[in-house]
A and B are shown apart, each in its own frame.
Chain A
């Protein structure tokens, strides 16, 4: 079982709608948690980075939350756009290790 689990595996929503992606982790000790966006055929791009003392971090229409007690994070996308279609990857750092989730594939329909 991967130490970073993401859900749902894939998600389809209409343009303009909001959505929330989930990330649960068992990594301990925890250093920081990152959300990446990976467009098809491209490398991942960093969206947010949070340490254990941060509860929320925003980047435009993207808002990440972190509950270090329950080891859960979410990425909320507001007013989705077609360009939001991508994979969203949760990454947790533990000391020198970086552990990637499998990602959530998001499809935005016009």
Chain B
């Protein structure tokens, strides 16, 4: 009955490979997000989708491509992985698309990506 679930939990791969991380939410939320948490523990938003429509696209290399087949899923595909991509990637969802106080984000457990 996990609200926001990501797979895989751990991902170890070599430089240059292409990999995908999947995210699903069963909360009935309209908005989903991808965040990156680096080794210094800063969380930074990467993308946000509302009802399958891209609404936030921060300055992220175009090697990262989000895909939302439906509003309950937001997957992240990464091409040509680099050492600097090593981080923990968090998926989140919220009912609304705005940043107002009623809009609580619920996070998944994270995917720890290690690029060798």
Contact-residue bracket for chain A: 20 to 34
Q: List B residues 34-82 near A (Cβ within 8 Å).
A: 40-45, 56
Q: CB within 8 Å of B: which residues of A?
A: 2, 31-32, 41-46, 49-51, 87, 89, 93, 95-98, 100, 102-103
The count of residues in chain B whose C-beta lies closer than 8 Å to any C-beta of chain A is: 20
B40 contacts across to A, CB distance below 8 A: 102
B108 contacts across to A, CB distance below 8 A: 43
A49 contacts across to B, CB distance below 8 A: 101, 104
Name which residue of chain B comes closest to A4, CB basis: B42
Task: Tell whether, in the assembled complex, residue A44 and residue B109 are in contact, meaning their CB atoms are under 8 Å apart.
Answer: no
B100 contacts partner chain A, Cβ-Cβ < 8 Å: yes
Task: Tell whether, in the assembled complex, residue B44 and residue A100 are in contact, meaning their CB atoms are under 8 Å apart.
Answer: yes
- Cβ 8 A contact of B100, one of A2, A31, A97, A102: A31
